[in-house]
Amino acid sequence: MLDTRVTPLLKLRNYRNNPNSLTDIIDELFTLIILGDERVVKATYIAGNLVYEPKIYVE
């Protein structure tokens, strides 16, 4: 699971609640590639099982 609005800069850049076009989705993915870091990863699941969750998660 990714939190696309975890930092103030990502919140500013990814202001849409529900991207409703391909352009919006591409824009959000681009900002995650350029501005994202380890704080973006909220949890990792494999086959429905939680395998990673950061010990400290910034809300």
Domain boundaries along the sequence of the chain: 8-52
Predicted confidence at residue 58, as pLDDT, reads 55
pTM above 0.75, yes or no: no
* 35-54 exposure pattern, b = at least 16 Cβ within 10 A, e = fewer: ebeeebbeeeeeeeeeeeee
| 18-44 confidence digits (pLDDT tens) | 888 999 889 999 999 999 998 899 999
Predicted confidence at residue 13, as pLDDT, reads 87
